[in-house]
A and B are shown apart, each in its own frame.
Chain A
Amino acid sequence: MADWVDVCAADDIDPEDVVRFDHGGRTYAVYRLPDGTPWATDGLCTHEKVHLADGLVLGDQIECPKHNGRFNIRTGAPLRAPVCVALATYPARIAGGRIEILV
């Protein structure tokens, strides 16, 4: 059963940025979009298992740092080669000034 898990203080992630979050033997990428909304996806690119937290957030897209493939952060959909397989996404929220994700 999924639980809300504390990630970090909301201010720890700048708008239009991403951090790596490891929990329960898995790695996640936790984002804030330009308007401050939190989002979360799997942490590794579906192409070559590179940590997306080292990549670049462009609006609501994340670009992989290794091959410049892109995903839609909200849906996980692949947008630009060489990524072809979608990312899993997870609900995220800000509660009491902290970012939480449902995993």
Chain B
Amino acid sequence: MSNAANPHHVRDYSLTGADTERAKATGLAGAEWYRTEVPRKLMKELMQRRDGPAIRDTLLWFALLGGSAWGGIALWGSWWAVPFWFVYGVMYGSVCDSRWHEAGHGTAFRTGWMNSVVYQIASFMVVRNPVSWRWSHARHHTDTIIVGRDPEIACMRPPNLFRLLMAYSGVLDMIDSVRILLRNAGGRLSPGEKDYIPESEWPKAIFAARVHVTIYALTLAAVAGLFVRGAGWASLIPVLLIGGPRIYGCWHMLMTGLIQHCGLAEDVTDHRLNSRTVYMNPVSRWIYWNMNYHVEHHMFPMVPYHALPRLHEAIRHDLPAPNTSIWDAYREAIPAVLRQARDPDYAFRKPLPPTARPYQERPVHG
């Protein structure tokens, strides 16, 4: 799908620019989005909160974090330590993203304080300000992939292919995240942050950033202390445990996260046009907490991660066919993103099954 009427639209992804005004003027901001009809009785069942699945998964997560950290330290200096650090890296640097996300929605657990505890821990691990990112993600759900409104657009157009490729190393994202953290800790918020965070929450965001920076400073102090005491390479263990995994273990988060929306439409009000549902192996689904059902999640954010497979079965007749694997999703997304480098107005458009209602093509005022 290419926008022939406006072939050279230069996008302004800032939240205070020309596209922000355009989104407001055209009704794309705060629009009413398409939703598949689901009987209220079934939807009530799907929305029900439970503590059991998330307690089980969280205990397993902490056990894997603790066990792999123990193995990595105990076998330090041996190649046998490598697989332990590999597991620890993914548990820290990738699992944190899905736990941050689900706990932030308040759908992981039925019990509120459990959501809050996991949210705070995961926010620290993923290097996201727990206050500002709560508001950022609310905006992402209000105005999903609306240029000038959504602060969480990962694949901008024309795409920066170097940055997209480097994303898997985690380095650039970590640099950006630390820069934001330090700016917040210094008492400053960007114009974009000021746009989507209510002013009453600004002091909380600054306080949270200062807490995070203090923990990182103590971690670096531990590295320096160990080095001075002659620990050699083992001095790096504190940063391999805290902060570092956000770089060396984030590859799974990026691998699954970048196929949520990349290559699909911008400035639409139907999540079937801008989001991707992808079938995945059970391990990736556990790491990702079922966010592979991404169209379903955006259409019905009230449904907890453990009920998304049931929701998928209930509404799949109205959705484009899901990608059959992560590889299949990349086979669709990569050519689309490469084409967007030449034609930024291009978007891959999935065919709908005959049982589906047509795409909602025009914005509807909410």
Assembled-state Cα–Cα distance A38/B63 (Å):
46
Are A48 and B301 CB-contacts (below 8 A) given A58-B49, A66-B142, A68-B105? no
Assembled-state Cα–Cα distance A49/B47 (Å):
20
Are A66 and B134 CB-contacts (below 8 A) given A48-B30, A50-B366? no
Cβ B44 vs Cβ A67 within 8 A? no
Top-3 shortest CB links A-B: A82-B138, A56-B47, A67-B138
Query: Which of A47, A65, A66, A84 is close to B200, meaning CB atoms less than 8 Å apart?
Result: A84
B334 smallest CB distance to A (angstroms): 32
Are A48 and B366 CB-contacts (below 8 A) given A66-B142, A67-B141? yes
B10 smallest CB distance to A (angstroms): 29
Q: From residue 133 to 155 of chain B, which have CB atoms closer than 8 A to chain A?
A: 134-135, 138, 141-142
B31 smallest CB distance to A (angstroms): 10
Chain A residues contacting B48 (CB-CB under 8 Å) are 56
Query: Which of A49, A55, A82 is close to B302, meaning CB atoms less than 8 Å apart?
Result: A55
Assembled-state Cα–Cα distance A50/B201 (Å):
22
Task: Look across to chain A and name the residue whose beta carbon is closest to the beta carbon of B131.
Answer: A81
The answer to the question of B106 belonging to the interface, with a C-beta cut-off of 8 Å to chain A, is: yes
Chain A residues contacting B282 (CB-CB under 8 Å) are none
The answer to the question of A98 belonging to the interface, with a C-beta cut-off of 8 Å to chain B, is: no
Cβ B366 vs Cβ A68 within 8 A? no
Are A17 and B301 CB-contacts (below 8 A) given A48-B142, A67-B141, A81-B134? no
Cβ B366 vs Cβ A49 within 8 A? yes
Cβ B106 vs Cβ A84 within 8 A? no
Chain A residues contacting B112 (CB-CB under 8 Å) are 80
B contact set with A: CB distance below 8 Å = 30, 43-44, 47-49, 105-107, 112, 134-135, 138, 141-142, 198, 200-201, 300-302, 366
Q: Is the interface of A mostly helix, strand, loop or mixed?
A: loop
Assembled-state Cα–Cα distance A56/B303 (Å):
10
Task: Look across to chain A and name the residue whose beta carbon is closest to the beta carbon of B300.
Answer: A65
Cβ B301 vs Cβ A65 within 8 A? yes
Q: Write 20 A-B pairs (CB below 8 A) sorted by A numbering.
A: A17-B44, A49-B30, A49-B366, A50-B366, A55-B302, A56-B44, A56-B47, A56-B48, A56-B49, A65-B300, A65-B301, A67-B142, A67-B301, A68-B105, A68-B107, A80-B106, A80-B112, A82-B134, A84-B198, A84-B200
Chain B residues contacting A68 (CB-CB under 8 Å) are 105-107, 301-302
The answer to the question of A42 belonging to the interface, with a C-beta cut-off of 8 Å to chain B, is: no
Chain B residues contacting A66 (CB-CB under 8 Å) are 141-142, 301
Output the residue of A47, A50, A66, A84 with the most chain B CB within 10 A.
A66
Output the residue of B49, B138, B366 with the most chain A CB within 10 A.
B138
What's the tally of chain A residues with a CB closer than 8 Å to chain B? 19
Assembled-state Cα–Cα distance A49/B365 (Å):
11
Assembled-state Cα–Cα distance A50/B30 (Å):
10
Assembled-state Cα–Cα distance A40/B138 (Å):
26
Q: From residue 47 to 62 of chain A, which have CB atoms closer than 8 A to chain B?
A: 47-50, 54-56, 58
The answer to the question of A63 belonging to the interface, with a C-beta cut-off of 8 Å to chain B, is: yes
Chain B residues contacting A80 (CB-CB under 8 Å) are 106, 112
* Known contacts A65-B301, A67-B142; 11 further A-B pairs (Cβ under 8 A): A56-B47, A56-B48, A56-B302, A65-B300, A65-B302, A66-B141, A67-B301, A68-B107, A80-B112, A81-B201, A82-B134
Assembled-state Cα–Cα distance A92/B198 (Å):
33
A60 smallest CB distance to B (angstroms): 14
Task: Look across to chain B and name the residue whose beta carbon is closest to the beta carbon of A44.
Answer: B366
B42 smallest CB distance to A (angstroms): 13
Chain A residues contacting B198 (CB-CB under 8 Å) are 84
Cβ B30 vs Cβ A63 within 8 A? no
A23 smallest CB distance to B (angstroms): 20
Output the residue of A55, A56, A67, A70 with the most chain B CB within 10 A.
A67
Assembled-state Cα–Cα distance A67/B366 (Å):
15
Chain B residues contacting A49 (CB-CB under 8 Å) are 30, 366
Assembled-state Cα–Cα distance A49/B364 (Å):
13
Assembled-state Cα–Cα distance A99/B272 (Å):
38
Chain B residues contacting A58 (CB-CB under 8 Å) are 49
Chain B residues contacting A82 (CB-CB under 8 Å) are 134-135, 138
